[in-house]
């Protein structure tokens, strides 16, 4: 564990004092205990609750964000905001990082991602609806994040964006991958720069695979076709990922 991570765990446990069990492994640290909170959202009611949680914190944090489990059995396994592994689905990966970077500390991760999730669960249990916009998960959630945040019109446009970022990073003078005919700087410049900064190489590759497989499934069903330049770019990127 790095000295910086030790400081961040100390900062977190100074505020959330019942997260007391610490188990250090080769590549990650487990921090567990009770997380009591009092929270509200956008003028909605205040909820006071406590959940037993386990944070698995990779030692390369913040390059890789923690995984979170609810360990007290309060959240049923069929709740639709859980990952297949049983961890809490806080948001799609790049959206998690976008929220995290507003307060890029372990304490910020718990306050801005974990507690709002638990608040949302309590609200849903009480009222049968979620207090926030009902977000899609998995492949659909990743696709929707690109379509909504960049105001794109199609899966192919989202795939073109992720291909551009994976191959070039941010290049303001290049043609914008949305197909507008403007340069990146005069089109999606700030949005693409922010998106790129919130990605890691791992999350960038992960989103590329998701968007490619989504489009390829539609291609196989005859629902879309790949323009020649995009097809050539895909061949380059897929070959690069194999090596």
Q: Per the domain annotation, does 203 fall within a domain?
A: yes
Q: What is the pLDDT of residues 128-170, one digit of tens each?
A: 888 876 666 678 888 888 898 889 989 999 999 999 999 999 8
Residue 51: inside a domain, yes or no?
yes
Res 135: pLDDT: 62
pLDDT at 222: 92
Residues 152 and 98 both lie in one domain: no
Does residue 133 lie within any of the structural domains?
Answer: no
- On the question of pLDDT at 51 being above 90, the answer is yes
CA distance 44 to 47: 9
- Say yes or no to pLDDT of 35 above 90: yes
Q: Is the pLDDT of residue 183 over 70?
A: yes
Domain that holds residue 230: 138-242
| Strand, coil or helix: 106 | helix
- Measuring CA to CA, which residue among 105, 92, 96 is closest to residue 147? 92
* 1 has a pLDDT exceeding 80: no
The answer on pLDDT for 72 being more than 90 is yes
235 and 187 together in one domain: yes
pTM, entire model: 0.77
Question: Which pLDDT does position 102 carry in this prediction?
Answer: 85
The whole-angstrom distance between residue 6's C-alpha and the CA centroid of its chain comes to 24
Give the containing element (helix H, strand E) for 232: helix 228-242
To the nearest whole number, what is the mean pLDDT of the chain? 90
Looking at residue 133, its pLDDT comes to 65
Pair (204, 232) in one structural domain = yes
The verdict on 91 and 163 lying in the same domain is: no
Q: Are residues 148 and 226 in the same domain?
A: yes
User: Mind listing the pLDDT tens digit for each residue in 76-131?
Assistant: 887 888 888 899 988 888 788 888 888 889 999 999 999 999 999 999 999 988 88
Secondary structure of residue 220 in the 3-state scheme: helix
State whether 9 and 97 are in the same domain. yes
| pLDDT reported for residue 148 | 86
Counting residues of the chain whose pLDDT is more than 90, the rounded percentage is 56
pLDDT at position 233 is 93
Q: What is the pLDDT of residue 160?
A: 94
DSSP result, 127-157: HSS-SS-----HHHHHHHHHHHHTT--SHHH
Residue 82 shares a structural domain with residue 142 = no
Residues 179, 151 within the same domain: yes
CA atoms within 13 Å, Cβ hemisphere of 119: 20
Same domain, yes or no: 7 and 73:
yes
List of E strands, the chain: 21-24, 28-39, 47-58, 67-70
Rounded Cα gap, residues 234 and 149, in angstroms: 23
Q: What number is the average pLDDT over the span 183-207?
A: 88
Based on the domain organization, do 99 and 18 belong to the same domain? yes
| Exposure letters 170-190 (e unless 16+ CB within 10 A, then b) | bbeeeebbbbeeeebbebbbe
For residue 200, CA distances in Å to 94, 166, 196, 205, 210 come to: 9, 10, 8, 9, 15
Residues 168 and 237 in one domain: yes
Does residue 132 lie in a domain region? no
Structure tokens at 154: 């199609």
Domain count, the chain: 2
Give the pLDDT score at 44.
Answer: 86
Q: Is residue 27 part of a domain?
A: yes
The pLDDT score that the predictor gives to residue 229 is 92
CB of 34 closer than 8 Å to CB of 19? yes
């Amino acid at each position: 564990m790095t000295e910086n991570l030790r400081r961040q765990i100390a900062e977190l446990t100074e505020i959330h004092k019942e997260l007391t069990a610490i188990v250090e492994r080769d590549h990650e640290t487990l921090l567990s205990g009770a997380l009591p909170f009092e929270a509200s959202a956008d003028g909605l009611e205040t909820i006071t609750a406590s959940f037993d949680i386990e944070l698995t914190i990779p030692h390369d944090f913040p390059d890789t964000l923690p995984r979170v489990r609810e360990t007290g059995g309060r959240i049923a396994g069929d709740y639709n905001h859980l990952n297949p592994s049983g961890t809490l689905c806080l948001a799609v990966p790049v959206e998690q990082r976008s929220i995290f970077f507003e307060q890029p500390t372990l304490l910020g991760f718990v306050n801005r991602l974990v507690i709002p999730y638990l608040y949302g669960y309590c609200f849903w249990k009480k009222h049968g609806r979620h207090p926030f916009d009902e977000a899609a998960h998995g492949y659909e959630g990743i696709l929707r994040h690109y379509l909504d945040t960049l105001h794109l019109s199609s899966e192919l446009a989202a795939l073109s964006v992720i291909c551009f970022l994976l191959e070039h990073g941010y290049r303001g003078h290049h043609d914008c991958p949305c197909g507008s005919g403007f340069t990146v700087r005069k089109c999606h410049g700030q949005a693409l720069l922010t998106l790129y900064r919130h990605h890691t190489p791992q999350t960038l590759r992960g989103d590329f695979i998701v968007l490619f497989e989504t489009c390829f499934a539609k291609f196989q069903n005859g629902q879309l076709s790949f323009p020649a330049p995009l097809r050539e770019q895909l061949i380059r990127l897929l070959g690069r990922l194999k090596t």
